[in-house]
Amino acid sequence: MAKTVWGRAAGAVIMGVVLSLAAAMPTMAQSVRVTVNGTPITDLQVAARVKLFALEGNRAGTRGATEQLINEALQIEEAKRLGVTVSNAQIDEALLQISRNMNVSQDKLVGMLQQGGVSIETLKDRLRAAIAWNAVTEQAIMPQVQISDLALDQQAESQMQAFQNFDYILKEIIFVGAGSSGRSGQANNYRSKFAGCDSAVDLSLAYTDAAVIDVGRRHATQLPEAIAKELAGLNVGGITKPRVVESGVSMLAVCEKTQAEDLTFVKGDLRAEQGNEALEGEVENYLANLRARAKIVFN
């Protein structure tokens, strides 16, 4: 299935689902707690995963760790069946990303694990399963997720409101700098003298640190709701009230305004939301089917 708007977000959703699952390999001279299609999961693997849980604030305990390792064994097995391999470079990149997200060095990350009694191999095992399962999801599960365009059209139309049925060409007038009260005063003064987009730049020259930016064409559904509502009440040549933004004080001027229903952006949001929900459900079902067909023996 060709990747849709939601497809870009789907990778994040997949990793969010599978990073809470994962895979460990057998260790010699250990007591086997459970076998999954002949693959042993040892008591030491379970104990190591429980310690990793503790570092993460996860209180699922031994039972949760065992279930996670069972899922991982199935994920790794399915990945192999589909020809998916996970390289050491992929594992290293995943570890690097975790370090960056935590704003620590990799050495610091390893030290944090060791302080909790967890070896880096325990985390690598989980990452290996997560990466493998991500590939399985993209290859075997994502193509099964279908989102109806007709249903999206109908839902988008039902969500559209009157103030969203406009297309604009806009200019932004921004008074740059700190001191929002002083900047707002100048912005209001500018607004009182504003006579249309054609003279916007010339008018700005009378003010300190005032800039006029061509925003270009925007549909109402691309704008924050409060701004879209205000713009809907303005005619061509109108200008919004000053708003404090990160860089100063901003206003939007209406250069052109036409009646136009555009469902593109509403549908994009709906597609991402529904696609991700559907994908999560399919991922769960796929794993549940693997478990149903597996031979899982507890010792």
pLDDT digits (tens, 9 = 90+) for 187-199: 999 999 999 999 9
Burial of 241 (0-12, 13-18, 19+ CB in 10 A): exposed
The number of beta carbons lying within 10 Å of the beta carbon of residue 231 is: 22
For the cut 90, the answer to whether the pLDDT of residue 246 exceeds it is no
For residue 147, the tally of other CB atoms under 10 A from its CB is 19
**Domain 5-147+271-298 architecture:** Orthogonal Bundle (1.10)
Render pLDDT for 250-281 as a digit per residue (tens, 0 to 9): 999 999 998 876 666 666 666 666 666 777 88
pTM: 0.55
Question: What residues does each domain of the chain span?
Answer: 5-147+271-298, 161-259
What average pLDDT score do residues 234-242 get?
95
Burial (0-12, 13-18, 19+ Cβ within 10 Å), 187:
buried
Whether domain 161-259 has CATH 3.40.50.300: the reply is no
